[in-house]
């Protein structure tokens, strides 16, 4: 008699805060949330069978309502790994945005040139690779380099989601990337280890590269304390000091895989004037930088 095959369901994510507050900070016109997700609804946009987690439904209508509360006009929708390489959920949202949304897709080497062109025509401007352990670990590097070369003619960038310590291992690869690249969530560097920790020093060195962009978001992921996550502020400030023209900010709504402190997105918006205290700095972080990378004005 054969042993029964054991199956386990992927863990369920916490739902986002159902009562986002209106922030005190008023973002400038055309401010962009440069890192956020749309999840389902699963009945319309099914999640991938091999996903590592199951999020709650957090669809376009809920997303639009949040953006109105926060005072953010533009958005970059990053297709999360729970949707696999089916990018329909972000393409449909972009198509309904009147040019206010762009996308970052999940792709693999099965995509044809026509597939890439359709994504580009639909408003996608980059693709993402997860290197973090809880989402599967290191990408297939042969496939990674192949895809980089294929998206290069489209003018795309690649988004890299690292664990902090892996910045050291992949430094040589980062130095040689022939396309613009973004490091998510400040490399997930834990604030508890201080500004002098080696992974953060490496992040600042990489940030000096002309093709490197850093997202100064994910405060709720790296902070050593709960809300309002202010221990992340000096880290974001240090990144902006190194690369003021190549930094982006986002909410990461609806905050997949948060284990402890689910943020209120109004609190995250109110970190912006701490991270970028001047009007000029806020304009760069929220409007000019994302516009230059994603071409909202074209």
Of 286, 195, 181, the residue nearest 236 (C-alpha): 195
Q: State the Cα–Cα distance between residues 288 and 296, nearest whole angstrom.
A: 10
Helix-helix angle 233-242:198-207, to 10 degrees: 30
What string of DSSP letters covers 77-99?
EE--GGGTT--HHHHHHHHTTTT
The helix (H) or strand (E) run that includes residue 161 is strand 157-161
Of 89, 87, 27, the residue nearest 59 (C-alpha): 89
Which amino acids are annotated catalytic?
A: 252
Report CA dihedral (92, 285, 208, 204) to the nearest 10 degrees. Answer: -100
Q: Are 53 and 13 in contact (CB under 8 A)?
A: yes
Using alpha carbons only, how large is the chain's radius of gyration in Å?
A: 18
Beta-ladder partners of 77: 36, 103
Contacts of 122 (CB under 8 A, 6+ apart): 91, 94, 95, 103
Other CB atoms within a 10 A radius of the CB of residue 166 amount to: 19
H helices within 208-286, ranges in order?
A: 219-222, 233-242, 265-269, 272-275, 279-283
Contacts of 133 (CB under 8 A, 6+ apart): 163
């Amino acid at each position: 008699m054969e042993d029964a095959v054991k199956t386990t369901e992927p863990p369920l994510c916490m739902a986002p805060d159902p009562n986002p507050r209106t922030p005190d900070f008023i973002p400038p016109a055309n401010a962009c949330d440069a890192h956020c997700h749309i999840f389902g609804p699963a009945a319309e946009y099914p999640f991938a069978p091999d996903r590592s987690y199951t999020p709650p439904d957090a669809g376009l209508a809920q997303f639009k309502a949040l953006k109105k509360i926060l005072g953010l006009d533009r958005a970059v929708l990053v297709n999360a790994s729970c949707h696999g390489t089916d990018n329909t959920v972000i393409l449909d949202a972009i198509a309904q945005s009147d040019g206010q949304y762009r996308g970052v897709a999940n792709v693999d080497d099965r995509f044809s040139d026509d597939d890439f062109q359709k994504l580009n025509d639909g408003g996608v401007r980059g693709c993402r690779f997860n290197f973090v352990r809880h989402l599967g670990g290191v990408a297939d590097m042969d496939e990674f380099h192949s895809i980089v070369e294929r998206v290069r003619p489209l003018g795309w960038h690649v988004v890299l989601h690292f664990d902090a310590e892996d910045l050291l291992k992949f430094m040589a690869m980062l130095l040689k990337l022939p396309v613009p690249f973004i490091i998510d969530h400040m490399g997930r560097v834990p604030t508890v280890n201080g500004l002098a920790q080696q992974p953060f020093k490496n992040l600042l060195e990489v940030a000096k590269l002309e093709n490197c962009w850093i997202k100064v978001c994910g405060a709720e992921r790296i902070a050593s304390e709960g809300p309002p996550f202010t221990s992340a502020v000096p880290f974001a400030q240090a990144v902006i000091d190194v690369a003021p023209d190549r930094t982006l900010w986002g909410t990461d709504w609806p905050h997949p895989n948060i284990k402890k402190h689910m943020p209120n997105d109004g609190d995250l918006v109110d970190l912006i004037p701490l991270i970028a205290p001047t009007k000029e700095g806020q304009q760069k972080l929220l409007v000019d930088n994302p516009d230059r990378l994603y071409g909202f004005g074209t």
